[in-house]
Amino acid sequence: MSSASLGAPGAPAATVVQGACPHDCPDTCALHITVEDGRVTRVAGDPEHPPTHGALCTKVSRYAERTYHPERVLTPLKRVGKKGEGRFEPVGWSEALADIASRLQRIAARSPEAILPYSYAGTMGLVQGDGMAARFFHRLGASLLDRTICASAGAEGLMATYGGKVGMHVEFFAESKLILVWGSNPITSSVHFWNFAQQAKRAGSKLVCIDPRRTETAEKCHQHIALRPGTDGALALGLMHELITHELLDHDYVNRFVEGWPALRERARQWPPERVAQVCGLTADEVRGLAQDYGRTRPAAIRLNYGMQRVRGGGNAVRLVALLPCLTGAWRHRAGGLLLSSSGWFKGVRHDAWLQRPDLLGQRTPRTINMSTIGDALLSEASPTFGPKIEAVVVYNSNPVAVAPESGKVAQGFAREDLFTVVLEHFLTDTADHADYVLPATTQLEHWDAHSAYGHTYALLNRPAIAPLGQARSNAEIFRALAAQMGFEEPCFTDSDEALARGAFDARHVDLDELFARGWSKLKIAEAPFAEGGFPTPSGKAWADAPGYGLPDHVPNYESAESAPELAARYPLAMISPPARHFLNSTFVNVASLRAAEKEPLLEMHADDAAARGLADATEVLVFNDRGHYRCRLKVSARARPGVVNGLGIWWRKLGLDGTNVNELTHQRLTDLGRAPTFYDCLVEVRAA
């Protein structure tokens, strides 16, 4: 459906436009946008799209509230105050574009690598994400950005096990007899997966949640295994130990489809339940019971999520967990196996090289800056190892001052008077407050896009439902205009947004007629893709021992009693900072109804830890470590296990209690694999404010 008329005779004509949710979420919903008299009046889920099933999360059902928000940035803005103050005056597009282009040209004439694009998944669209923007920065020869802030440890862990970011079809979890919800809080972060898990539960299946926090999801599962953060690798090794001891391996599957198991088997033998229990903060019976359930139930499925890989050993832990269904042969059934990401199924289906045009670099090989260490990068001077000092940053689809680790340093970097900063945004976020220019971007209701997904296997289309508000322009339109201003003459800089959306997928793999007629189309993937091996490795076998990696192992957190006893003596509480239910990363924090639901920045603490510190529920507290302090409201709660506090994220710093957020406390050290941040590997102490 592109736009069907729904109006009753006499009523104002209503049309329904097919859209796709742009947000960074595994569910990537198909949307029905109702438009009446040029205004969006309803955003609903498409009832026919199987994963969406007609339902939306609270946040996105309020998407129109965000689009029509009175504080939307609707004209280009030029800074008049100090960096970070957020004082701007409106300017015209032509003045803004001319000034930005000439500033970037001057820097590029000396050193294009002194210019850095900074973007993540504010929209996951292939057009408004890294389509025209990537073409622009490749042509310019700017520094490349290593986009690691969320998932790259787990991604590399999957690559080193299956050879690709591939997994089960989400729909078939409805038929699983046992589901391990591991490092994932789907009631908050993936409600459409939860719908399938509920169907399984109603059919009598067992649900087990493996998470340090007693989340809403953990409460609704039959069992909650509240391990210490960063100990998932040890738990997986313990499960292997029990599968070996009790003869629960599928030897036929292992012999035919797993490489390197004998060496890992010897390692797993060193992890009896007692040792695992001590490392994970569990009982040995919990480990034994879980192994029995997992080894004896068919089909058994694991919904792994990125929450468990935001620690030093995150990549190794994903390798170990991802091997479990290979050892029990769970992959033989379509409702068995594992899903962390489905994005690898889109490899070769998406026209990435055409969208992003890395060939425009020609012979140039710019340096790569890791987005997860943006604080250090912005504060680095020129040096032979670092290269030129960063002189300009162009931010789109991201809010690094709030979301990047060790945000005190990130804010200090963005406050540099000699840094030229352009931010494409909907709102004056913490990052936009530091900009020299803020450029008003369209929302998903106002532009074209095409979407792949990382939690299901459908391609989606998003048509514009309404004209851009005010003077807003789409990201692609802004980079097209900047390219023209800079004199880039390659024909690819004239491709329209619609042309980019039409060209995003390969017609041999996506039924483009169906995509454009109905808004979504399923990829053709076998129902049980690895029933007979067929992993995307060169041999088709899964790797227990991956070439170039060696055997996976449990890697303790950087900040733990094991690795840093002196630090742990001063800061005895491990802090994790998972998403708050009504926010999406730092998006929606400024939507009044959603912020009202979250009330204030919260720190959940177990009653014993609160009593030991003489802290009463609802006190204002300071959470601190050597990197800084963060003021928030204490919630004494059974959601926290002893020794672990939960600082729910990710508030805008300026909407918090003292101009900071939880990332004031996190550090910039990276994961074992994938160069990712270790947000949940963080020791703190807490006292009354």
What is the binding site for ligand MGD (CB under 6 A)? 24-25, 120-123, 128, 149-150, 182-185, 188-189, 210-213, 215, 229-230, 232, 305-308, 311, 396-399, 402-403, 424-427, 429, 441, 475, 576-579, 581, 583-587, 649-650, 662-663, 666, 679-680
What does 122 bind: ligand MGD, Mo ion, none (CB cut-off 5 to 8 Å by kind)? ligand MGD
Please select the residue that binds Mo ion; options are 16, 21, 133, 150, rule is CB under 5 A: 150
Nearer Cβ to ligand MGD, position 183 or 468? 183
For the CB of residue 677, give the shortest distance to Mo ion in the complex, in Å.
11
Neighbour count for residue 524 (Cβ, 10 Å): 11
What does 558 bind: ligand MGD, Mo ion, none (CB cut-off 5 to 8 Å by kind)? none
66: its two tokens: 């965000």
**366, 372, 356, 359: which is closest to 143 by C-alpha?**
366
Nearer Cβ to Mo ion, position 147 or 265? 147
The answer to whether residues 559 and 567 touch, using CB atoms and an 8 Å cutoff, is yes
What does 182 bind: Mo ion, ligand MGD, none (CB cut-off 5 to 8 Å by kind)? ligand MGD
For the CB of residue 106, give the shortest distance to Mo ion in the complex, in Å.
35
For the CB of residue 681, give the shortest distance to ligand MGD in the complex, in Å.
8
Nearer Cβ to ligand MGD, position 112 or 677? 677
- Confirm or reject binding of residue 153 to Mo ion (CB under 5 A): no
What does 396 bind: ligand MGD, Mo ion, none (CB cut-off 5 to 8 Å by kind)? ligand MGD
For the CB of residue 123, give the shortest distance to ligand MGD in the complex, in Å.
4
For the CB of residue 24, give the shortest distance to Mo ion in the complex, in Å.
5
CA–CA separation, 88 and 433 (whole Å)? 9
470: its two tokens: 């005010």
Per the listing, tokens 């192994």 go with 291
**123, 453, 195, 152: which is closest to 306 by C-alpha?**
152
b/e burial code for range 93-104 (CB count within 10 A of at least 16 → b):
eeebbebbbebb
CA–CA separation, 382 and 125 (whole Å)? 34
- Confirm or reject binding of residue 155 to Mo ion (CB under 5 A): no
Nearer Cβ to Mo ion, position 185 or 560? 185
Residue-wise DSSP of 403-439: HSSSHHHHHHHHT-TT-EEEEEESS--TTGGG-SEEE
For the CB of residue 455, give the shortest distance to ligand MGD in the complex, in Å.
8
Question: Which residues are paired to 14 by β-bridges?
Answer: 36
Range in contact with Mo ion (rule: CB under 5 A) among 150-158, 364-372, 537-545, 567-575: 150-158
Per the listing, tokens 């196996």 go with 337
For the CB of residue 243, give the shortest distance to ligand MGD in the complex, in Å.
19
Phi, psi (5° rounding) for residue 239?
-65, -40
Per the listing, tokens 């329209």 go with 496
Nearer Cβ to ligand MGD, position 212 or 503? 212
Range in contact with Mo ion (rule: CB under 5 A) among 147-155, 216-224, 293-301, 611-619: 147-155
What does 601 bind: Mo ion, ligand MGD, none (CB cut-off 5 to 8 Å by kind)? none
Residue-wise DSSP of 541-598: SEESSBTTTB-------SSSTTT-HHHHHH--EEEE-PBPTT-BTTBTTT-HHHHHHH
CA–CA separation, 583 and 662 (whole Å)? 14
User: Residue with CB nearest Mo ion?
Assistant: 150
With CB under 5 A as the rule, give the number of residues binding Mo ion.
Answer: 1
- In the shown chain, the binding pattern of residues 318 to 337 toward Mo ion, with x for contact by CB under 5 A and - for none, equals --------------------
Nearer Cβ to ligand MGD, position 637 or 666? 666
What does 116 bind: Mo ion, ligand MGD, none (CB cut-off 5 to 8 Å by kind)? none
Residue-level length of the chain = 689
For the CB of residue 398, give the shortest distance to ligand MGD in the complex, in Å.
3
DSSP tag of 68: T
CA–CA separation, 303 and 13 (whole Å)? 43
The answer to whether residues 630 and 623 touch, using CB atoms and an 8 Å cutoff, is yes
Nearer Cβ to ligand MGD, position 258 or 665? 665
- Confirm or reject binding of residue 57 to Mo ion (CB under 5 A): no
- Confirm or reject binding of residue 460 to Mo ion (CB under 5 A): no
DSSP tag of 649: B
E-assigned strand segments in 106-263? 115-119, 144-146, 178-182, 206-210, 223-225, 258-259
| Residue type at 608 in one-letter notation | D
For the CB of residue 633, give the shortest distance to ligand MGD in the complex, in Å.
17
CA–CA separation, 390 and 428 (whole Å)? 23
What does 313 bind: Mo ion, ligand MGD, none (CB cut-off 5 to 8 Å by kind)? none
357: its two tokens: 């045009």
Question: Which residues are paired to 396 by β-bridges?
Answer: 119, 424
Nearer Cβ to ligand MGD, position 249 or 573? 573
Range in contact with Mo ion (rule: CB under 5 A) among 146-154, 274-282, 498-506, 566-574: 146-154
- Confirm or reject binding of residue 390 to Mo ion (CB under 5 A): no
Per the listing, tokens 């591991």 go with 182
Residues that bind Mo ion (CB under 5 A): 150
